[in-house]
Amino acid sequence: MNGKPPSPRTTLPEGLVSLADHEALARTSLSPEADAYFNGGAADEITLRENVAAWQRPRLHPRVLRPLAGGHTRVQLLGRTLAHPILIAPMAYQRLAHPHGEMATALAAAVLGTGFVLSTQASVPLEDVAHTVLGEAERGPLWFQLYLQPDRAFTRDLVHRAEAAGYEALVLTVDAPVNGARDRERRAGFVLPPGITAINLQGLRPPKPQTLRPGQSTLFDDLLTHAPTWDDVAWLRSVTRLPLLLKGITHPADARLAVQTGAQGLIVSNHGGRTLDTMPATAELLPAVVQALGGEVPVLVDGGIRRGTDVLKAMALGAAAVLVGRPVVHGLANAGATGVAHVIRLLRDELEIAMALCGCQTLAEAAMALGRPADRH
């Protein structure tokens, strides 16, 4: 990777008052290659843009003169009480944005009571992150995101490492058997720089390539012969004691299959617009998945969350919580843990403002903000 390395700033300049401000500033410190990696999407980036735009379309319907004293943002999720419904989504190679990488993000999350999901492709050891987070009394949940590897023994050992380190749930990403056609990354010539690797995957041996006959596809007749299936999800369920959430569920039929296979939660996600372009935005996909499950397991959502009003709308549409990705990387690039904490605090403050102005004392009343009966909880 060419270009100037990210600056190890730990303080923020004046005038950052929104997540958009953080994004604009981050573009001045990220290298062109890292900017393409974190901020780019698949193909023409239609889904990438729609993820943001779709949260802006629903209109809020405020109620006035309602009792608001004693209100709060607390929610229940997998047996825990969270201070607020904002979690940090799994994102790979965060040391591309700041030398402290995932350690800084995890620290900020823990201090602000925010759930943190560590990526399989993190650039720091999973044990180091857990050690940083688990001692914080007010922390949110600590989860580990997993890609199923063709080597089941390696996958099992990685899961047991996460269990031993103190992670409280597994988040299995199921929507990326292959990478999307990421034009922006390819134009930028993105490669990992020396010293940054998927350190938790060290020792994983790639599967032996297939011998292809003339006319066969490198993708379908080689790489995808190792793609996971529902049977692999059932196998994973059998080798871990941790709750399992499936990330990348967008179809109601898949949501029902996931629960039948043992998933204890789902994340409606289109991979941030990084895999299949022209998919619908997650704001549009969420309601059908929630309706299909009828509250049987919690349904979370990510993709395009940029304002506290977006969080309130997600909760109104039936989400149990939201996950935020790119804005966290922007904060990280801008000032390490301080920048991440500022992004989380901005989003939570905006959520509280939106709740108050819509007449919602708690998030149990979120549906009312979209003009619906507040009877979800």
Cα separations in angstroms, 36 against 1, 30, 39, 181: 12, 9, 5, 13
Buried b (16+ CB within 10 A) or exposed e, 276-315: bbebebbbbbbbebbebbeeebbbbbbbbbbbbbbbbbbb
60 vs 56: CA distance, rounded Å = 10
Q: Give me the DSSP letters along 84-105.
A: SSEEEPP-S-GGGT-TTHHHHH
Q: Give me the DSSP letters along 145-176.
A: EE---S-HHHHHHHHHHHHHHT--EEEEE-S-
Q: Which of 22, 271, 330, 342 does the annotation list as catalytic?
A: 271
166 vs 171: CA distance, rounded Å = 14
Residues in the chain: 377
Cα separations in angstroms, 348 against 30, 90, 231, 311: 25, 19, 39, 9
DSSP 8-state secondary structure symbol assigned to residue 80: E
Residue 330 appears among annotated catalytic residues: no
Contact predicate 273/51, CB 8 Å: yes
Active-site residue set: 271
